Chain A
Amino acid sequence: MARRVGAEGSFAVAEAVRLADVDVVAAYPITPQTHIVERLSEMVASGELDANYIYVESEHSAISACLGAAAVGARTFTSTAGQGLELMHEVLYLTSSMRLPVVMAVADRALSGPLNVWGDHSDAMAVRDTGWIQYVAENAQEAHDLTLCAFRIGEDPQVLFPVMVHMDGFHVSHVVEPYFMFEKGELGDFLPPPKYPYPLDPNRPVTMGAFAPPAVYAECRKAQDTAIKETYGTIVKVWEEFGRRFGRQYKPVETYKTEDADTILVAIGSFNQMASVAVDNLRAGGRKVGLVRIRLWRPFPVQAFREAVQAAKNVIVFERSMTYGGTTGPVCTEVKSALYGTLHQPRVMNFIGGLGGRDMSPRQFEAMFDRAREIAEKNLEIGYETIGVRG
């Protein structure tokens, strides 16, 4: 039976990687991801995990080595954060376009400058268009479960895409929480050994990474876009199977007290747990408010999202990154785009906060609902507002 343990989110990830019996880990240390790779190094050193750990000299090489290992059919894991994810950037496109199911945990972190090692979503949003499946774990339990699911999803012959499992730097990676840790054998056949269909193998030679002239490049891009959209069904199917087998159900869009809500807060990541407290407090005062948590970021669950907010008059999008000089933050841009042109057009408001590790209290989320009511009543036009920021 699963054991209830108290551990950091980082350890929950490392344990999942051990259970997945990965063949290759290639990673470079960067705060706040380090505890994941330290734990994995220990496991390899002690023999708990039979993997080749490649102690690379940069994140660029970390993901490149994962790409090479995945290309011969090895089950492959890496982990990074912030600047590390940015250094990987160009290789991320290659990994997805070559359809290599690498799994990466990202302890999301702010981007320099100024230098800041604490959590926000700047790094995740900056790699939004790299063609990876991206989803979010809000606590240690989710980090454990969803890392395991990532191997199953990515390696599914109907998918064959790399998967990024995001978790907030420090708030998830470093917080010690109780969670149910799987025991070896308990997973049954949920995660069979990897069987990549087109590996580099001298017995059946393939050419990977050929260049595409204009006559075929556009078709490659279109095929990749179609393919990642089609992963949606498998992602949902795997999460449903996980729920049936192990009792914890994950969905692309999660809702909390939204049934009769006139105002819905939309957010991504661990701060949702704070936002749910704010929803409870406001509900106690008679306000009809609810929370929508986006778990699956790519492919974006357009239909599920529309359904989740369809009854609301007001939609508040809270997010932890900026697009300098843009119309709104990247999550709000996505939300507006998903709702534009639908019959139901709620008023969408955007608040940006929690940047570079700055905490957000339930009171601040309540204040967001108050401000949203004011904006709605006075019919104000805002692009976005920052929360808890001086000046």
Chain B
Amino acid sequence: MNTTTATYTATLQKLREAGEVFMPGHRACIGCGEVLAMRQVFKTLGRDTIVACATGCMEIISSPFPTTNWDIPWIHALFENTAAVAAGIESGLGAMKRKGRGPAQEVTVVAMGGDGSTFDIGLQALSGALERGHNFIYVCFDNEGYMNTGIQRSSATPYGATTTTSPHGKNSIGQTTQKKDMPLIALAHHIPYVATATPAHPTDLARKVRKARDIKGPAFLHVFSPCPTGWGTDADLAIELCRLAVETGVFPLGECVYGKYELTKYVKELRPIRDYLRLQRRFRHLPDDIIDQIQDNVREHYEVVKRKCGIIGSAAD
């Protein structure tokens, strides 16, 4: 057994042994990649955690009154204010601790939302919270659209994808805009930690979650979350889609610690984008020339990321 495998096995063992804080019985769709990712995040963080959750799939599937899946303190307020609610939680705990009130232990404050609440409607509140430097983790579970309301486009929906509000047709290719680069927007606030992760890379995800928790100040985690319902894929493909997204370069796995970029899974030879697109109904209408264009864009973007990480051309090979 080599070192990597040993670490992998050890981490998985730890994850297995860690108690559940997101309990069984949720109502997510079959094959949901987002709920897998969420469970991994909170399993890693454990019980001394308070969660502020935005409106969205993960909220709806876990909290129909009078039931709940959450065995840790959890609050949902609105769609766009989650980062502000978390900021209040963190500030409140801090002030109370100074005055000898509130929980005695160190508490990790987490704000979580989908791409709609992060990239779009909650961007202002998120920007404010990152700028002010609250000690909290913001986790964006990105399923690339407003899936909870019936698969509408967001600014995280990739170019060419068909959704109910970016349908393809005679005059449209589907989504006509490029996906917003959310990790870079987070980084523009000069926060100490930004990382990308997927539920198909659980040891990588767990390591990043722990790092986000241990670093003082705001941390932003961008978690790729395949949505079989919204993307039009088989229900057993969430993990495969995560792997393909990383291996094709669609979703580079990396982190930036105090301004230092690193690809935590560097893909020397990107797989063809077609391997990823062909599994998803949302891309099935795309003609070859558009797919070629997407391929070029992905490769170009991956080169940009590589340069940021100090991997220049073949020198790193």
Contact = CB atoms under 8 A, between A and B. Distances in A.
B103 A54 contact: no
A315 interface: no
A231 to B, nearest CB: 22
A64 B72 contact: no
Interface in A47-65: 50-52, 54-58, 60-62, 64-65
B159 interface: no
A70 interface: yes
B76 A202 contact: no
Interface stretch (A171-179, A204-212, A242-250, A337-345): A204-212
A203 interface: yes
A67 interface: yes
A220 B273 CA distance: 50
Contacts of A212: 64-65
A387 B79 CA distance: 43
Given A202-B48, A210-B66, A216-B65, A64 B85 contact: yes
A86 interface: no
A160 interface: no
Contacts of A98: 77
Interface stretch (B120-128, B224-232, B305-313): B120-128
Contacts of A216: 65-66
Interface stretch (A71-79, A143-151, A291-299): A71-79
A89 to B, nearest CB: 11
Given A52-B91, A209-B63, A67 B105 contact: no
B107 A202 contact: yes
Contact of A64 (B64, B77, B94): B77
A72 B102 CA distance: 7
B88 interface: yes
B152 interface: no
Contacts of B129: 61
B192 to A, nearest CB: 19
A193 to B, nearest CB: 7
A297 B88 CA distance: 28
A201 interface: yes
B186 to A, nearest CB: 15
Interface in A175-227: 193-194, 199-203, 205-213, 216, 220
A103 interface: no
Which size bracket describes the interface of B in this complex? 35 or more
Contacts of B102: 72-74, 199, 201
B65 A211 contact: yes
B86 interface: yes
Contacts of A211: 59-60, 63-65, 76
Contacts of A68: 52, 75, 77, 84-92
Given A54-B88, A61-B128, A202-B48, A91 B78 contact: yes
Interface of B: 47-50, 52-53, 59-60, 63-68, 70-78, 80-81, 83-96, 98-99, 101-103, 105, 107, 124-125, 127-129, 131-132
Interface of A: 21, 23-24, 26, 50-52, 54-58, 60-62, 64-74, 76, 90-91, 94, 98, 193-194, 199-203, 205-213, 216, 220
Given A67-B77, A73-B96, A208-B74, 10 more contacts: A50-B98, A64-B81, A67-B81, A72-B89, A90-B78, A205-B70, A209-B53, A210-B63, A211-B59, A216-B65
The 6 A-B residue pairs with the shortest CB-CB distance, nearest first, are A68-B88, A74-B92, A69-B92, A57-B128, A65-B88, A209-B76
29 contacts: A21-B99, A24-B92, A24-B95, A50-B99, A52-B95, A54-B132, A58-B125, A58-B128, A65-B88, A67-B77, A68-B52, A68-B90, A69-B88, A71-B89, A73-B101, A91-B81, A199-B102, A200-B89, A202-B49, A202-B72, A207-B70, A207-B75, A208-B74, A208-B76, A209-B76, A210-B66, A210-B67, A211-B63, A216-B65
